[in-house]
Structure 1
């Protein structure tokens, strides 16, 4: 009988203890509503804040989890009852990226008494776990020395006692700080998940302190959990679960402006491409990437690969900033094959003192994992005889037995600022000696600006193409310019003084150039959006890359055509032959957001003709793309291209050299908001259009002052390239 009593007594203690450890509040995201989530124990409904129409629920650690985007998605609000010490708050987290600035996974706030009192579990931009503490508005951040993983699940526990605050990662004590509850802080009555207690902005526009990844199984206890209990009960075997961080397709499902067959990252910010290379049966290209936000910050190197230049797979960023020589970003550079045919990366790494050129080497044949060179930077800062600190974007090539590297720079000579490329030489790609400028601009006559970025020095036949991108200056936008010439006595000698524009209307910048598998010179470049930051935040993505192009060099000029790999995108075809178009009636060609047009046009007596694209009869949206043969110009009139107030209404004009009595071949690619065109298999142009209405997609041909003969016009709908991510 005594045994039975003792068994009942201990059983009652166990049940009491187990009940005491039941979370007071918990969010599992399995019973969430479309735009809300429900606290499981009390049924309290909390709004999911997000820039997107529908918050994203994805595979979590168990059931569903909430996908965070890094700048807009979070939950928070008042708790049904206040929390008193001790408190434990936990969550499962999987990160796609580290944040752009120190951010929180979750926070506890004294909202009713003093909203400036809060405690958070967070992480800094280098991946160090952190305790964030604010008492009466005085914020203090405490960082551990270890580094959290990306693309893997980990468990976060924040334990608040009267004398200490502890941070546990996967049940292991990671950081502990003393805590004095006499500082007018004894209860918490509010919380956030996915961002800090307070929102902070960069440049008064871009939200910081958010997390980018997945959060699941958020729980709050009114007790102090032991590490052993957390490991056995909350973690157990879950730590081996696979985290899938792919951006949900639903995020951009209704975004008709987002391209479908062009290359661009799964979400968020990108700018220049670099390191285009063909290696072991695959094309690889790298890019400037801020995966946690939609502005130029926290730059990593992104990575894509493709078997055919059409369908691309986005991989995990191979290079990310770390404390030290590249803590301010992994900036642009180049990828080349060394003397053994193995790729390497040379990139610009910067800190608060200087920029340097840095190496990285692959750890696998798929170029997924890379290791930074232990002796980075291999070039530390600009040469001592120059005063300018800004110094970036290396480009490498081999001439006979020596390796050369050109780095973008700007010089001051006789009080005149001018763009320049600094030339370095090496035998082994690891030790570099500065020689002299490879080439300098003369902005007074060639209008080449005061600083050059993203150089290309590409040999075709017995000639070199030198391409540079002057930065915006004196009201002039960024542009890609090039010269053709020779490499003589370790200097570039141009065949002509004035550079040429890469495009008639130059909205494409910084080409990455390489040989394709058949030995053709190909190029892919960045096409900026040039839209307001508010629209970037609304869209959730910024910028994209051009279709792959083929370069040919003829008579000192680059001739550009679409790469033949794009032919496989063609779907349904509609053709027009020997059609006369007069000013009284436009030719209605078709409609769609993913289109290719190839037309041969005879002007006859007309001197102004072209296409309406993105046309909407009801809402009067249209972009007018036409030839003005009197002025020998290409004009893209976007005065009525969009009813969206934040879209700039502009007219873009480029000079041509057409002969009126010869037919014009025009090839146009339309993909959502991007338009790329090619004239006579030579000239190229690029623009962006952002109509407000999804049905602003009609295409018509017009002539203004006389009849025009369309000898032949083929109109294709193009398929999506179905780009994917592998994370």
Structure 2
């Protein structure tokens, strides 16, 4: 289906799966911008509103008082509370994008004139279910409508927005010729002026006053949707994906008003200027308040993760402007996967993270043509179906983001394209107008990764080849230059011999790991998926790696069979870059083992691993991983015991759901099985065991959770390479509510998800820590337990208003 949408006079087109009759073209409306029209209803500026919602109630209140009619509006609340955040004046109402909105009864003596106005700050455009342009189901900023009457201020997933009103029985739609801005308080007004014969849209923002007009018959009247509710923050027509509502709005609202007169352009502009001078910032308004997850005993506190909603792989870890920046896959509108954005956070030490506005979001290819304006050469590769994973490099003060662009067919579906930023904080990005290359030469591709070798830049991209998963390889003389595909395979060993039965490799990484016997040793990481690879059965979806040598053109692995990145699966797709001390650091995703219903109930999905420091072990072939030393800055109070002889379970006095445990074992005094147990309830009805068992590393999650839909409540066992890692004598474990990171001998590692849900009120009960030994006594020479603080994070720092780049 073509993405072209024609916009001739009187032509029917789809908005929100409903058919509207356009009374004029967008081009005609745009041409009328700024043309004054007389106000024939008297002194509109002096009129009083017939509805006024201030949203000044307390945080969490589910009621909103109409200051005019003294009627109570209600907040629809299922998953998240009715949050209040700093507004333009007083408080503002924060909608979460999928489960909160406001609704109430509205009646007024409106006939030929009306003005609907509100302050709003959008964090993102509504998601939808990723459909071609002509099939989009949109969202609404505010509406009161039925099939045959009412009005609607609508917006779609690309930031196009419009005002629809039923005039004398005919639906009229005025589409704004500019996109709705993100991360900025703006004041919008939709005006019906039947006496002057026009509809008007006005936005006052940092760009000044923008206006669009559409002629209607003089003397026309508005058909109100009598008896229909007034709804703020959700579409008139729901679109769902599985159990998720996917077309609500992620925004903050303040001072919503309706007038029974047509307010004029100058009056509205003066109101904006007067209020914006003392307004709070959109950065503050778009925060997730502490109320949202206050009683959530599963949400991690000291792991890097978005403020809310859905995430997937972190990527593009890079040092730029004196800070580390991490980008990540994100749906900002809810705990579901749709219309991928690039989220963005930064840190000085890879421990304390600051959340930022999204760096990249899907945009419409050849938008000018679709809006009816004169199309130039058009835009391609803008990720109309999502901006997927990639990599970022910083060169001479400029950062280059390379990402996977996915569209609805046509060029660069999928493909790779690029964006650049010279901001020290990487707040604004400019996309290339066209993609760099598409999947020509391979069956499918995704997730570019860059490295420089002498005067040549190399890019590897995860690919599907005829034999299964593999890589595509490209080179360029400069990072901003022309990329050429290398015909020779990236590896001297055939991909078919290296693969584990997948369809495609994702998120590749290639870095120099260390030197052994005078030879530089490189590591290639891939994440095979599809085919026989599965999330819950062997071969597992997980990160794997090869070590070997690099001659400047090809990688020669030491062995064809890959090694697992983690001893036990559960962590994958790490973003990798030199860390604070120049040593390689990896941060991956630790994905959920919970149902869609639980993710909907919680309001978030997935988290990241703790930062791991990578190194080459003494055998010259094996990756060693340990917790980043900077994590020690999170340590609070400490409890210690020494020389504890354990045979069975030994419960420590120390406990907690946000702790670091360092247990040292006497290598000469161990049982057959030994380790530690965490997240244990007082009666051990909930408990997770981590232990070594005669050559295997084990995590027993069969009782990790009671009363939770855990899809992997099983015992997981995997071979432990004792020749490379040494006999397990040092267990370094981090517990952060539902995510754990385990390091053995500062060499072997795994991360996993557990879901201890038992609590007394808001207090978690499954916080016990036990030492464990079976098949003989084990001597724990020392055990230290630190309570860990949650680092200051999740605040947006100094963002600029985000205007769409295309």
SS at match of 1:725: coil
- Please give the alpha-carbon distance, in whole angstroms, between the structure 2 residues aligned to 1:95 and 1:258: 25
Partner of 2:664: 600
Q: Taking structure 1 as reference, are residues 53 and 517 closer, same or farther at Cα in structure 2, changes over 3 Å only? A: closer
- Please give the alpha-carbon distance, in whole angstroms, between the structure 2 residues aligned to 1:344 and 1:705: 56
- Please give the alpha-carbon distance, in whole angstroms, between the structure 1 residues aligned to 2:351 and 2:660: 15
Partner of 2:474: 424
- Please give the alpha-carbon distance, in whole angstroms, between the structure 2 residues aligned to 1:140 and 1:680: 69
Q: Taking structure 1 as reference, are residues 400 and 625 closer, same or farther at Cα in structure 2, changes over 3 Å only? A: same
Give 2:145's match in structure 1, choosing from 102, 109, 122: 109
Partner of 1:535: 598
Give 1:449's match in structure 2, choosing from 499, 502, 518: 502
Contact 1:419 1:441 (8 Å CA) reproduced: no
Cα drift, residue 589 of structure 1 = 4.3
The alignment's TM-score, normalised by the length of structure 2, stands at: 0.80
Q: Any stretches of 5+ residues in structure 2 without a counterpart?
A: 1-39, 129-137, 366-380, 536-540, 759-763, 800-806
Give 1:576's match in structure 2, choosing from 609, 619, 641: 641
Cα drift, residue 410 of structure 1 = 0.6
Contact 1:93 1:155 (8 Å CA) reproduced: yes
Partner of 1:237: 274
Contact 1:167 1:175 (8 Å CA) reproduced: yes
Deviations 1:12-52 (A, max 9, x none): xx999579821112111124672211121232222211234
SS at match of 2:256: strand
Cα drift, residue 713 of structure 1 = 0.9
- Please give the alpha-carbon distance, in whole angstroms, between the structure 2 residues aligned to 1:121 and 1:426: 47
Partner of 1:261: 302
Contact 1:158 1:167 (8 Å CA) reproduced: yes
Partner of 1:62: 89
- Please give the alpha-carbon distance, in whole angstroms, between the structure 1 residues aligned to 2:772 and 2:116: 65
Contact 1:443 1:450 (8 Å CA) reproduced: no
- Please give the alpha-carbon distance, in whole angstroms, between the structure 2 residues aligned to 1:132 and 1:619: 60
Contact 1:602 1:662 (8 Å CA) reproduced: no
Q: Taking structure 1 as reference, are residues 343 and 363 closer, same or farther at Cα in structure 2, changes over 3 Å only? A: closer
- Please give the alpha-carbon distance, in whole angstroms, between the structure 2 residues aligned to 1:596 and 1:337: 34
Partner of 1:10: none
Matched, 1:651 2:715: yes
Contact 1:508 1:546 (8 Å CA) reproduced: yes
Cα drift, residue 92 of structure 1 = 0.8
Matched, 1:373 2:425: no
Partner of 1:347: 403
Q: Taking structure 1 as reference, are residues 278 and 605 closer, same or farther at Cα in structure 2, changes over 3 Å only? A: closer
- Please give the alpha-carbon distance, in whole angstroms, between the structure 2 residues aligned to 1:294 and 1:610: 35
SS at match of 2:597: helix
Deviations 1:123-163 (A, max 9, x none): 2222222235799x999976422022212111122234567
Give 2:385's match in structure 1, choosing from 313, 316, 328: 328
Contact 2:658 2:788 (8 Å CA) reproduced: yes
Partner of 1:7: none
- Which segment drifts farther, 171-180 or 122-131? 171-180
Matched, 1:26 2:52: yes
Q: Taking structure 1 as reference, are residues 184 and 227 closer, same or farther at Cα in structure 2, changes over 3 Å only? A: closer
Aligned ranges 1:7-46 → 2 under 5 Å: 21-31=47-57, 34-46=61-73
Partner of 2:583: 520
Cα drift, residue 608 of structure 1 = 2.5
Cα drift, residue 664 of structure 1 = 1.7
Cα drift, residue 502 of structure 1 = 0.3
Matched, 1:392 2:418: no
Cα drift, residue 688 of structure 1 = 0.8
SS at match of 2:404: strand
- Please give the alpha-carbon distance, in whole angstroms, between the structure 2 residues aligned to 1:177 and 1:480: 59
Count of residues paired in the alignment: 695
- Which segment drifts farther, 171-180 or 521-530? 171-180
The alignment's TM-score, normalised by the length of structure 1, stands at: 0.89
Cα drift, residue 661 of structure 1 = 11
Matched, 1:168 2:202: yes
Give 2:257's match in structure 1, choosing from 211, 219, 224: 219
Cα drift, residue 579 of structure 1 = 0.6
Q: Taking structure 1 as reference, are residues 82 and 668 closer, same or farther at Cα in structure 2, changes over 3 Å only? A: farther
Cα drift, residue 260 of structure 1 = 1.5
Matched, 1:485 2:536: no
Aligned ranges 1:71-470 → 2 under 5 Å: 71-79=98-106, 84-101=111-128, 102-110=138-146, 117-132=149-164, 143-160=175-192, 165-170=199-204, 172-174=210-212, 176=214, 185-189=223-227, 190-201=229-240, 203-232=241-270, 234-240=271-277, 241=279, 242-243=281-282, 244=284, 245-324=286-365, 325-326=381-382, 327-338=384-395, 340=396, 342-352=398-408, 353=410, 354-374=413-433, 376-379=434-437, 381-383=438-440, 385-386=441-442, 388=443, 390-412=444-466, 417-429=467-479, 430-436=481-487, 437-439=489-491, 442=495, 446-460=499-513, 461=515, 462-470=520-528
Contact 2:501 2:531 (8 Å CA) reproduced: no
Give 1:499's match in structure 2, choosing from 559, 562, 569: 562
- Please give the alpha-carbon distance, in whole angstroms, between the structure 2 residues aligned to 1:179 and 1:684: 71
Q: Taking structure 1 as reference, are residues 329 and 43 closer, same or farther at Cα in structure 2, changes over 3 Å only? A: same
CA RMSD of aligned residues (A): 3.1
Deviations 1:55-91 (A, max 9, x none): 1111111111101111111011332567555332211
